[in-house]
Chain A
């Protein structure tokens, strides 16, 4: 790893912060997309896999941008979706997990 001087390090952190800041809107849009796909999955269950994939990716990404709680709730939504797919989790539990995710979305 290249040893950065103080000024360079500050500039690098500022660039990183800018990338993080731009994610806030993206996070809200991604949660809205997830809500829409889950809504569509209530009619037929073909969308459950797509919703689980969206939730999985959000779980890995949100925390890396500093939204740790949103990432953890996205992981809970993914687990609930997998449970609904298997028939071991009720939709009510999925709705609660989704509500918690929305609560932690900026």
Chain B
């Protein structure tokens, strides 16, 4: 499985060392064919998470945008028309510019065997749809921190 090691940002506040998982993320990309889902996803990642959020409506746009913008992490819908999530991940891994970008699948179909398959393809995690917009950014941070060696 692809492991993406990520620097953790630390800060001192009242003499207490605070470790913020995934704090080095600045830019995330959300790939989903549903326009409304992209809207609520961007609100969750930008307004609540405080990240710059790139949106792509399909696999081809995701591949092009990822190469140009190099997001820190990609949230990828599993089931999309034309190029689906697993095929998109395969294409991202073929290109040097995008091969190392961590990918998290998002899916309404999250049976244990599906999750196992997605992780086997090289995803660092799976987030279930529907998601809680207030908790999405925290979930992404947690998955990244665990993939980076655990916190």
A residues neighboring B (CB under 8 Å): 1-4, 12-13, 15-16, 19-20, 23, 26, 30, 53, 56-57, 59-65, 68, 71, 75
B residues neighboring A (CB under 8 Å): 20-23, 25, 33-34, 36-37, 39-41, 43-44, 47-51, 79, 81, 106, 108, 129-134, 137-138, 140-141
Q: Helix, strand, loop or mixed for chain B's interface?
A: loop
- Residues A53 and B81 in contact, CB atoms below 8 Å apart: yes
- Residues B36 and A23 in contact, CB atoms below 8 Å apart: yes
Partner of B40, one of A1, A23, A75: A23
- Residues A63 and B141 in contact, CB atoms below 8 Å apart: no
Q: Which residue of B lies closest to A23 (CB)?
A: B36
Q: Which residue of B lies closest to A68 (CB)?
A: B130
- Bound Cα distance A85, B108 (Å): 20
When A15-B43, A59-B108 are in contact, do A1 and B130 touch as well, CB less than 8 Å? no
Partner of B37, one of A4, A61, A68: A61
CB-defined contacts of B37 to chain A, threshold 8 Å: 57, 60-61, 64
